[in-house]
């Protein structure tokens, strides 16, 4: 099992993204693995595609459908309290979403995340693939 972060997914689906080619390479390397995302990953991805990147709305809908169909989807609201504890306890301030993902991964025993965000390296229980 491997967890997929939003920035990887955006890089994979959007050819104009700087890390697109690397994301495509990674996708080939993990083709046989179970790929995990959460509902927050979907929300964050769609939000960035729509509001920041201004991607065509038809393409956004296509990506949404791929996220729902192609990956194992985890309900993540169960992990919010542990994420809040991390938010309060960690010296470095990180996005709450990322603390949710870390908590989810730790509790479900997922050891790897595909992300281009280096702050995941701060968590010794998670190996970042990039």
The pLDDT, as a whole number, for residue 72 is 98
Q: List, in sequence order, every residue forming a beta bridge with 112; answer none if it has no partner.
A: 127
The mean per-residue pLDDT over the stretch 115-130 comes to 95
Report which of 31, 27, 47, 28 is spatially closest to residue 39, judged by C-alpha positions. Answer: 47
pLDDT digits (tens, 9 = 90+) for 76-99: 999 999 999 999 999 999 999 999
Residue 67's CB is within 10 A of a number of other CB atoms, namely 19
Q: Which domains does the chain have, with CATH numbers?
A: 2-129 (3.40.50.1010)
The pLDDT, as a whole number, for residue 115 is 98
pLDDT digits (tens, 9 = 90+) for 14-72: 999 999 999 999 999 999 999 999 999 999 999 999 999 999 999 999 999 999 999 99
């Amino acid at each position: 099992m491997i967890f997929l972060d939003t920035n990887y997914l955006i890089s994979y689906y959007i050819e104009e993204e700087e890390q697109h080619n690397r994301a495509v390479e990674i996708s080939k390397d993990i083709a046989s693995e179970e790929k995990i995302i959460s509902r927050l990953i979907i929300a964050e991805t769609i939000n960035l595609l729509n509001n920041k990147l201004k991607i065509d709305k038809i393409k956004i809908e296509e990506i949404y459908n791929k996220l729902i169909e192609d990956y194992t989807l985890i309900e993540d609201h169960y992990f919010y309290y542990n994420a809040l504890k991390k938010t309060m306890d960690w010296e470095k301030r990180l996005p709450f979403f990322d603390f949710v993902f870390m908590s989810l991964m730790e509790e479900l025993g997922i050891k790897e995340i595909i992300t281009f965000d280096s702050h995941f390296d701060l968590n010794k229980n998670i190996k970042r693939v990039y």
